[in-house]
Amino acid sequence: MQEFLEKARIELRLRNYSVKTVDAYLGCLKDYFIFLNGDPIVVNLAKIKEFLLLKQDKNYAPQTINLYLNAIKFFYRDVLKDCQKIDLKFAKRNNRLPEVLSREEIQKILAQIANKKHALMISLSYGAGLRVSEVVNLKIKDVLLDELVLKIRQGKGKKDRMTVFPEKIKTDIYFLIGNRVGDEYVFESERGGGITERTAQAIFEKALKKAEIKKDATFHSLRHSFATHLLENGVDIRYVQELLGHQNIRTTQIYTHVMNPQIRNIKSPL
């Protein structure tokens, strides 16, 4: 099994997949190899179906089942160079609306964070529409305070992009990074290096709970809220698409369902 996993790791790295994707694919493949309990060289569609159905029976999300299927297809197609087509359809994705926080809820969350650096990190994530990986990896050289712009390097899909910087926190960020060099992290941990993604998520989750907000929000809800509030402010959807770094505008259009003013203006007949 280790030999096959190592071959898959090498192939994934040669194709410049992100560290997260490499780890996810290898985890899926390891799980699949254990299930097979034998030689995985020959494509067995019945076994692949059985494996994926077991995941479905355990209430795995459709996105996770699709990840398993993608990993298995990659293994046979790109690692073993097997030309046999794995003719399986992907699981239907859940059509869920993003969880969006109101402006008032954002302020309530920030009010619960006593550590100023942590509060700035949450503020910047919301004010610039950043993913958790993007804010923890943000370098000083990519904060262009005079232009009120952030440069996000190698975001999702290994794409660079520019996004807005919230002027409201300009002075606080200036004092946070003023005496440090460009290659250092904006939000350093006490032990050196950047704050971890899990630490950033824990800071948000703790503040959300203390603010007594009952929504099923996560750190990523800050990014959802950024996009929704920009659209509510009348910003053209194509600009929002560019700020978020979405390749397809249909991904951005989901936020128009959250802030649909026509629905909000309808009065219930009760």
**Residues with Cβ within 8 Å of residue 46, at least 6 apart in sequence:** none
| Catalytic hit among 131, 185, 224, 229 | 131
Instruction: Find, among 231, 195, 206, 211, the residue nearest to 98 by Cα.
Output: 231
| Catalytic hit among 76, 118, 185, 223 | 223
SS3 for the chain, per residue? CHHHHHHHHHHHHHCCCCHHHHHHHHHHHHHHHHHHCCCCCCCCHHHHHHHHHHHHHCCCCHHHHHHHHHHHHHHHHHHCCCCCCCCCCCCCCCCCCCCCCCHHHHHHHHHCCCCHHHHHHHHHHHHHCCCHHHHHCCEHHHEEHHHCEEEECCCHHHCCEEEECCHHHHHHHHHHHCCCCCCCECCECCCCCECCHHHHHHHHHHHHHHCCCCCCCCCCHHHHHHHHHHHHCCCCHHHHHHHHCCCCHHHHHHHHHHCCHHHHCCCCCC
The amino acid that residue 16 corresponds to is N
Question: How far apart (Å, rounded) are the C-alpha atoms in residues 127 and 123?
Answer: 6
User: Do 20 and 137 touch, CB atoms closer than 8 A?
Assistant: no
| Catalytic hit among 7, 108, 161, 220 | 220
Please say if 220 is a catalytic residue: yes
| Catalytic hit among 32, 68, 76, 255 | 255
Please say if 223 is a catalytic residue: yes
Please say if 224 is a catalytic residue: no
Please say if 255 is a catalytic residue: yes
| Catalytic hit among 47, 156, 161, 206 | 156
Catalytic residues: 131, 156, 220, 223, 246, 255
